[in-house]
Structures are given as C-alpha cells and as structure tokens.
A and B are shown apart, each in its own frame.
Chain A
Amino acid sequence: MARDSHAALIALNRFGFGARGGASGDLINAASDPRGFVKAELARPTGVLLEAPGLQSTPQLGQAVFAYQDEVKQAREAAAKAGVPPEAPPPQTDQKPGPRRNLSLNMVATEIAGQMAEAKPADSKSADNVAKPETMQPNAAAPPAAKPAPQPLNVIQKTFRAEALARLQRATLVECGFTERLVVFWSNHFCISASKGELARIWAGSFEREAIRPHVLGRFADMLKAVEQHPAMLFFLDNQQSLGPDSRAGQNRKRGLNENLAREIMELHTLGVGGGYTQEDVTSLARIITGWTFAGRQGGLGAPGSFVFNANAHQPGSQQLLGKTYEPTGLAQGEAALADIARHPSTAKFITTKFARHFVADDPPPALVARLRDVFVKTDGDLKALATALVDSDEAWQAPLTKMRSPYDFVVASGRLLARVPEDPGVYLNNLNLLGQPLWSPAGPNGFPDTSAAWAAPEGIKLRLDIAAQMGARLGPNIDPLDLLEFAAADAASVETRKTIERAESRQQALALLLMSPEMQRR
C-alpha cells in the first residue's frame, strides 16, 4: 500500500498539479494504476484546448488595444486643447497588489468545497458589505466616499485577468493536471512576456491558447510554426520591425534587420546554445523571416492584429542556413527553414533534455534523455509520443521527488487541495508576483528557471511560508488539515510531517505546515 501511495504521489505531483481535496479521491485513483492515471489525459487531445466565454481571438484583442490606445490619445488631446493637464494614463499592469480579498469559493465543485465555504451568511455578500480595499484599514470610520474611487480596469487588464482566471480554473479542476503541466512547460519554453507592452499583455493568454495548446499533444514542428507566426511572439521579439535590407520597405525606410527573433528561435526554441549554428546562420534566418509580422491598426495588410506575410518587407533572394539553400519562396521560405530546424538533431537533444529536466530531475538520467531523444526523432517530434514515453519510463517513477514545485505549481496545488475554484485571479496573481513568477511575465525570453535551486532560495521559501500562513488564517470551517493530508499524500506522508501537523497548535497553523511540507513542496 505504501508503495502504491508513493507511486500515486509521483503521478499527481511529478506529472500533475497534486491531489484535489474533497470527494475526488485522486490519490486512491492514482494508486490503483499510476501510469494509467497520468496517461488518461493524453487520450483526450481536445481536453488541452481552452475555451471560455468571453475569451477572444488574437485579432479581436489586437483591435481592442488599438481602439483603447486611440481613446486614450483622443482624451489626452481633448484635455490638452481644454488646457487641462493630461490625466495620467490608467495603470497598465496587474503587477500592483490587488484588493485584499478572500479567495472566493466555488460551492459547487466538490463536497468539501461546500464544507469549506466560509460560513458567511448570504447578506455578507450584499453590496454595502463587500470590502473595498481601503476600508480594510483600521481607521475605516471615515465614510468610503472620502476615498478616491478605484480606477476601473482597462480592457487590457480585464483581458489579462480573464485569461489568467480561465487558466487557473482549468488547472484547479482537471483530474491529474498532466496536460496542463505540459501546457505550462511548453508555454514557458516558448515564452513571451506580458511586460513587453500592451499588446503582449492582452495577447499573453490568447498566444498560449492559439499557439501552444493545439500542439501540446501534436507535433513540435507545428507548435514551432504557430509560435513564430503568432503576433504575440513577433511583437515580443521585435520581428514586426525587422525589414529585409534589400526589400522595398527596407530600401524606402533605410532600415533593416532585427535579429532578435531569429536568434532566440535557434538559441532558445530549437537548437540550443552550442547547437551547431553560427552568427551567419542567425543573420540568415533573420533575413528569411523578414516580412513575418502582424497587421496594424489600419489593416492595410489584413485584419488588424492578425499574422500576415508582408512581401514588401521580405528580403529577396535565396538564403544559406545551416548548410542548406532556401530558395526565394516568400513565406514558404521561412516555413521550410523552421521545419528543417525542428528536425535538427540538436533540437531533439535540446528539447528532450529540457523536458526530462522539467519533469524528473535537474540532472536527468542520461538513459532517459537518450530514449526520449530517440522517440522525438523517430516520431518526427510527436509531443504526445514524447509525453507517453516519459510516463512509460522507469526512471520517471524511480527518481526521488527532489524537484521544487515552482510558485505556479505551489499556488495551484494549494488551491486544488483546498478545493477552492478561483473566481477572481487577484490573490493568485499577487502571490505569483511575490514569489518571483509573475504570470506570463518572465524577465527574459529564456523563461522562468526550471531548477530546484532557483525556487528553493531562502527568501523564496520564507515568502512561501508567509503565503501558506495566510491561507491557513483563512481556513474555512470544518476543514481538518489531517483530512487534507490524507487527500494529498495518505501513507506516503512521512511520520515527521504527520506528527508536525497533528501537533500544530491550531488548524490554521496545521494547514500552513501541511502546505509547506516536503510532500507539498517537492515533486
């Protein structure tokens, strides 16, 4: 039995987002057939897609940004004419701490979610009783009207939060979470950063839904193409500014190449550093993908905010790349180049090593990496086959649980265990900001780090504890952390962890300790 629980722990924590609390029985289900439990999600390829009411396509969102920018501009001009000092533009990011609110609880999700729901009487939700952040202050006797009204969210912030909420809800509700973990892996591999600007922020979610998710159980080459042709990536790595020096646009505007995207395609997305490419290859690929851009607000090239190939900006002529000649076929030239890069042996090695490092160990077993590489090559980059091979390997089940959960894994796993279906992403986004993993906003195009050392830093652990203590302080009625330990680990929990939780001086403290236990932090 202990063995089964341990395998179930691996199934849920190494491959998934951890056991859900409530009546789900995840740990028991996983224990009966750990591999089957993980692989079940792979059999439902449409389950990886994310559609939710109100989530819009990239062109629609681009147009919303253009309209918003026009509005701001007009308001500013009107104010300037009227001699009024221009109003500061509304804040553009979600980075500032949001309102201090309890996580809303979804009463429906599971039995325990109902038990957990704070025993707030119905009328505590009535309008006059809903907390505005400023009234949380001890000196709140002053009438709320004396405080400035909070800035309403603009369309960019609203969209970012809606996309974040949809992703968080999905991660909280799915059974094992393996495909969602795959989404997070690939999304981080092909990351953009929402902090690049308004378009990046509004597109962060649609980029993942449109370029990553459809291919997570598909082919690597298809994902690569979808990513490099997505407006969000073209904007993030400046390719919309890159002009073929000999193209008509380049000649007219006396401007030329921007190598940013081409370099990161080879260095970060496919071949990897030392993957056998030269500076010449970078420049060559940059030329090849000139003209890959998105239509602007005028829509001269196509629907505003959609990917277009601008032949006027494309460098004419054939190009040499990685020892091969690519004839001048316009858009097809770049697509052919990407297809070949996707098949390059360095890509297979780089991708499969990173994949194994993410799921198994910072230094993954070489035999496992070799096997995954073979699968990647033999299946021409079939990512479902890759994921299956990982789950089928012995190494993935034998390696000790040494990886640290990333902050995202941690907040999602905690929410799952508490059977809290987020209704507002604010608390999650704040916690991710605090813990150094702001959603869809890594510091650079290399994404968030994926080693334990990065997430087990002293200040990070201390912050996690603070956040766990806050979750503990909000513990709902009739939740026994010992029950949650059964859901999370059962007899795979160490004696010490069990005793620590049993001996806690309050259930609130017990929950904080459970959330911080090695069983919840390591995967």
Chain B
Amino acid sequence: MIDCVENRLLTSRRSLLLGGASFAAWAYLPKFARAADGRDPRLIVVILRGALDGLSTVAPVGDPDYAGLHGSIALTPDGAHPAIMLDTFFALHPAMPEFARMYRDMHAAVIHAVATPYRDRSHFDGQDVLESGYAGPGRVQSGWLNRALEALPRGERVSSGLAVGPTTPLVLRGNAPTVGWAPVALPQADDDTAMRLVDLYRHRDPALASALSQGLQLEKVASGDDMKAKGGNQVALMRQVARGAAKLMAADDGPRIAALAFDGWDTHANEGGPVGRLAFLLGGLDGALAEFESGLGGRWRDTVVVVATEFGRTARINGTDGTDHGTGTIALLAGGAVKGGRVITDWPGLKLANLYEGRDLKPTTDLRSVIKGVLQGQFGLSDRVLAETVFPDSAAARPMKGLVA
C-alpha cells in the first residue's frame, strides 16, 4: 500500500523537477577597448548542471541512426509535437520556440558535437573542467570567466543594489571581485533531490522513506499542486532568475558579465521526448533566454548568452527511457551580438563505429574554442591570454572565428 503511494509519487515527481539557480556577476564595469565604437558588450554564461542531452535538444533528425538510437524519446519533425527544423538536418526541441525565433532572426546559434577536454563521466569532475577551464579535473580556485575578467581593464565599481547571495559558480570564482544575487524564494529542495533521497531511504531506512514521501505529498496538497502546475512553477522559477539578472545587467551601472547555473539535467529515467521532464526544463531555459532578451532591452543588441553543460548523454536510450552519462553535446549561443542562424558542427555521424567508445556522440569541436571565440569577439582578448591564462595549455583549441557579429 505504502509502496503504491510512493511509486505514484515517484513517477509524478520524477517527471518534473528543476533545481536551484544562482547568479553572480563581476563587481566592476569593464573598460573595454571597443568602447570607442559605441558597443557596450555583455556576456552571460549559463551552466546547465547534470549533463544536457544534446541529441534531444537539437536533434539530428537527418541522421539515419538517430531515431533508432534515441528510440521512444526521439524527436520527429512531424506528429503532435513536431520539432522545429533549424536546417535540413537538425531540429530544435519543440519546447524552445523563443530560441527558434532568435535563430530565425540570426541571433542564435547551435554548436553541435562539442565537448570540454574532459573524457570521463563524473558530474563533479566534468563540472570542474567546464567551469575551471583547465584541461583536467583538479582542485582549482578560479574559473575561466573570472580569469577572463582579470585580463580586462577594470572600470567603475558596480553600484546598483547588488547583494551577496549564495555561492558563486566556480566559473566566476577567482581574484576578480564579483557580487551575487539570488531570488529570495528558493528555499525548497528540488524534486530530483527529493526523489533521490526517497530512493535511498527506501533501501536503507523505510521509516524515513515513508515520512519523507508523506511530507512531500503533504506539501503538494498544501500548495494545491499537480504535475502541470509544478512544472509551471519550476519554469517560472528559471524565468524569475533570468528576469532579475537581466534587470540588474540592464542598468547603466549594472554588471556587464554574469554567470548562472541551472540544475536538474541528469535525465537517467523518463527523460521524455517532445513532452515530459526534459521538455519542462528546456521550456524553462527557453523562457530564461526570452527574459534576458526582454529584460536587457536595448542592451540585448550587444549581448551574448553562452549555454554550456559538462558533457552529453548516451546516444542510445537506456532501459528506463532515459540516457546515461555521455560525451559530445551541444552549446547554445543567443543574443543580439551573435552571428546566428547556424548550426555549427563537424558532424561525426551516429553510426556505431563513429560513436565515442561505441556509445556517445563523438566530440568534434572543443568547447573552449567556442568560448574563446565569444570572449575574443565580445572583449577582444588576445589568443595568447586565452591560451595561457583563461584556458591554460589550450593553444591547440584555436578561438572559433566569426561567432560574434
């Protein structure tokens, strides 16, 4: 009986979720070399923690092996929830109409089959590499975005009402001073964490499993929650973070450079196809991009948003309609300064022989090249600074040209 209740709860909560979000920004206005030409560039880095399934976000529907590998959760250009064709080969998840619009307006781009230099499959280490900018995992105190800031001439101190909030993402930690902000209403543990804990308790501590399950359900009842509303709330939360960040960054004396992180992308089970768990999250991300656009107003013209994740997920779905930790994935660029309307890729193909270790999308582009290209385009950082300081020992990963208009 209790099991029944828990199972129902498990399924419904599993399919939603979303996690915390945090935002941090540089404490100073940079004095840009390019200020002379009237541009006032802004950069927002969005970290998706948990490993985004790139093949479900920008699906290679033109690849003959895609549908078979992604099985029940594969996107299709037809049906009740058709994916949005970006070109003749790639289709965007239907939960991302705003990104699709930006793409059509040439202000959004996709880089596919991309990865950091990290080749194992631990979230923690993968996030370290993604955010630290070092070639391998290890305990470092600073992130690449902070080191990029250090290379910029420091201007006026940001004086708008920024407050110190929860911790700064690693990508922005370091010597360059930063400030943080977090929406006040982030007190609850996310559903994914709750369900992992229920799972642990069911194996180790049935009494606590029962108590926590009831507590979670009580909370749902108390908030008049159902699955749809819950998903809606989570999406609203992501939008809220983006809206607040955009507002701060739109101010004349607001920060120009910021990072934030969204959690919850670790879709091992019931990932969902055009609708479902990942769809909720992507809808939230799409909403966040739209909030950046509207919140930044006239500044959007000079803005680049980089969306990146620690690694991808398996090309073939697993036995629980989800995907496990993989390698190659996507990065997204959005913003008025993006030279968009393109899926940039050296497509490796999804034939078994072409998969990395026979299971993952093979990375053909170094994520560092993409980020370097953005940093160079926006802030004029030199190849040398990028190769030695921002991303140490990365001379081989040349900055990608022409990403910024």
User: Which A residues form the contact surface with B (CB < 8 A)?
Assistant: 100, 102, 115, 118-121, 123-124, 128-132, 135-144, 452, 456-463, 465-466, 468-470, 472-478, 480, 494, 496-497, 500, 503-510, 512-513, 516-518, 521-522
Q: At the interface with chain A, which of B107-115, B161-169, B331-339, B360-368?
A: B161-169
Mark B233-257 against chain A: 1 for CB-CB distance below 8 A, else 0. 0000000100110011001000000
Q: Which of B159, B194, B196 is most buried by chain A, counting CB atoms within 10 A of its CB? A: B196
B188 in contact (CB, < 8 A): yes
Within 8 A of A (CB), among B149-174: 159-168, 170, 173-174
Chain B positions within 8 Å of A506 at CB level = 19, 49-50, 123-124, 127, 263
B275 in contact (CB, < 8 A): no
B181 in contact (CB, < 8 A): yes
Q: Whole-angstrom distance between the alpha carbons of A14 and B188 in the complex?
A: 29
Chain A positions within 8 Å of B194 at CB level = 462, 465
Beyond A473-B166, A478-B141, whether A465 also contacts B196 by CB under 8 A is: no
The answer to whether B168 and A119 have CB atoms under 8 Å apart is: yes
The answer to whether A505 and B265 have CB atoms under 8 Å apart is: yes
Chain A positions within 8 Å of B212 at CB level = 458, 461-462, 465
A458-B214, A508-B49 provided; 9 other pairs, C-beta below 8 A? Answer: A140-B248, A458-B215, A469-B189, A477-B141, A494-B203, A505-B265, A506-B50, A509-B19, A509-B263
Nearest A-chain residue to B184, judged by Cβ: A136
B393 in contact (CB, < 8 A): no
Q: Whole-angstrom distance between the alpha carbons of A307 and B46 in the complex?
A: 63
Q: Which of A144, A456, A476 is most buried by chain B, counting CB atoms within 10 A of its CB? A: A456
Chain B positions within 8 Å of A478 at CB level = 139-141
Contact of A469 among B20, B159, B181 (CB under 8 A): B20
Q: How far is the CB of B318 from chain A (nearest CB, A)?
A: 14
Q: Whole-angstrom distance between the alpha carbons of A496 and B198 in the complex?
A: 12
Q: Whole-angstrom distance between the alpha carbons of A140 and B124 in the complex?
A: 33
Q: Whole-angstrom distance between the alpha carbons of A506 and B161 in the complex?
A: 30
The answer to whether B218 and A459 have CB atoms under 8 Å apart is: yes
Q: Which of A115, A468, A476, A507 is most buried by chain B, counting CB atoms within 10 A of its CB? A: A507
The answer to whether A473 and B20 have CB atoms under 8 Å apart is: yes
Chain B positions within 8 Å of A516 at CB level = 197
B179 in contact (CB, < 8 A): yes
Beyond A140-B162, A140-B163, whether A124 also contacts B177 by CB under 8 A is: yes
B208 in contact (CB, < 8 A): yes
Q: Whole-angstrom distance between the alpha carbons of A251 and B193 in the complex?
A: 67
Q: How far is the CB of A510 from chain B (nearest CB, A)?
A: 7
The answer to whether A507 and B160 have CB atoms under 8 Å apart is: no
3 closest cross-chain pairs (CB), A and B: A462-B215, A131-B163, A469-B189
Beyond A139-B247, A469-B190, whether A462 also contacts B177 by CB under 8 A is: no
B182 in contact (CB, < 8 A): yes
Chain A positions within 8 Å of B160 at CB level = 140-141
The answer to whether B201 and A518 have CB atoms under 8 Å apart is: yes
The answer to whether B211 and A120 have CB atoms under 8 Å apart is: no
Chain B positions within 8 Å of A115 at CB level = 139
Q: Whole-angstrom distance between the alpha carbons of A476 and B215 in the complex?
A: 29
Nearest B-chain residue to A499, judged by Cβ: B200
B178 in contact (CB, < 8 A): yes
Beyond A129-B179, A506-B263, whether A143 also contacts B208 by CB under 8 A is: no
Chain A positions within 8 Å of B244 at CB level = 138
Q: Whole-angstrom distance between the alpha carbons of A142 and B161 in the complex?
A: 7
Contact of B193 among A119, A124, A509, A518 (CB under 8 A): A509
Q: Whole-angstrom distance between the alpha carbons of A452 and B208 in the complex?
A: 10
Q: Whole-angstrom distance between the alpha carbons of A503 and B196 in the complex?
A: 9
Nearest A-chain residue to B123, judged by Cβ: A505
Chain B positions within 8 Å of A496 at CB level = 200, 203-204
Nearest A-chain residue to B165, judged by Cβ: A136
B302 in contact (CB, < 8 A): no
Chain B positions within 8 Å of A512 at CB level = 189, 193, 197
Q: Whole-angstrom distance between the alpha carbons of A130 and B187 in the complex?
A: 21
Q: How far is the CB of B333 from chain A (nearest CB, A)?
A: 23
The answer to whether A138 and B141 have CB atoms under 8 Å apart is: no
Chain A positions within 8 Å of B176 at CB level = 121
Q: How far is the CB of A320 from chain B (nearest CB, A)?
A: 49
The answer to whether B124 and A466 have CB atoms under 8 Å apart is: no
Chain B positions within 8 Å of A463 at CB level = 215
Nearest B-chain residue to A462, judged by Cβ: B215
The answer to whether B192 and A509 have CB atoms under 8 Å apart is: yes
Contact of B200 among A456, A475, A513 (CB under 8 A): A513
Chain B positions within 8 Å of A123 at CB level = 27, 177
Mark B193-229 against chain A: 1 for CB-CB distance below 8 A, else 0. 1101101110111011001111110110000000000
Within 8 A of A (CB), among B95-140: 123-124, 127, 139-140
